[in-house]
Amino acid sequence: MVELSSIQNPSFPSVSPISTLGYDLETGSFILLAAPKNTPKEVIASLETSFKDAFDSEEFQTWVSGVGVTPNWLGVNDVQEWINTLQSETFKVMDELDL
């Protein structure tokens, strides 16, 4: 059994991340905050700061580790690339694994 993550989940030390099989794949549960197109940059920056503060909070980190999720932060400048890569890599790995 492997977890579809490249990072070891501390809540499940007996389940290896898929990266141990040579795959660089991040998938599973994620929370994504989106705003309408043409939202002013200062509004996006404010939302991102608030969301990051919540992500970094002890309360969220305690909750996320308790439900077995490996937390990972991506900011506004990285999320679209992550989405595109996730889709491409997931399809590639699924084809290779012949699922």
Is 95 inside a domain boundary? Answer: no
Is 87 inside a domain boundary? Answer: no
Residue 29 has pLDDT above 70, yes or no: no
In three-state secondary structure terms, 17 is: strand
What's the pLDDT band for 27 if we cut at 50, 70, 90? low
Is 93 inside a domain boundary? Answer: no
Mention every residue, 6+ apart, whose C-beta is less than 8 A from residue 20. Answer: 2
Is 72 inside a domain boundary? Answer: yes
What's the pLDDT band for 4 if we cut at 50, 70, 90? confident
H or E segment and range at residue 97: helix 79-97
Is 48 inside a domain boundary? Answer: yes
pTM for this predicted structure: 0.60
Residue 14 structural domain: 2-77
Mention every residue, 6+ apart, whose C-beta is less than 8 A from residue 43. Answer: 35
What whole-number distance in Å separates Cα of residue 16 and Cα of residue 88?
A: 22
Instruction: To the nearest 10°, report the CA torsion of 33, 9, 57, 54.
Output: 0
Is 83 inside a domain boundary? Answer: no
**If you average pLDDT over residues 54-63, what whole number do you get?**
94
Is 96 inside a domain boundary? Answer: no
Closest CA to 33 of 4, 53, 57: 53
Angle between helices 41-56 and 58-66 (to 10 degrees): 60
How many domains is the chain partitioned into structurally?
A: 1
Is 92 inside a domain boundary? Answer: no
Model confidence pLDDT, tens digit, residues 32-52 = 888 999 999 999 999 999 999
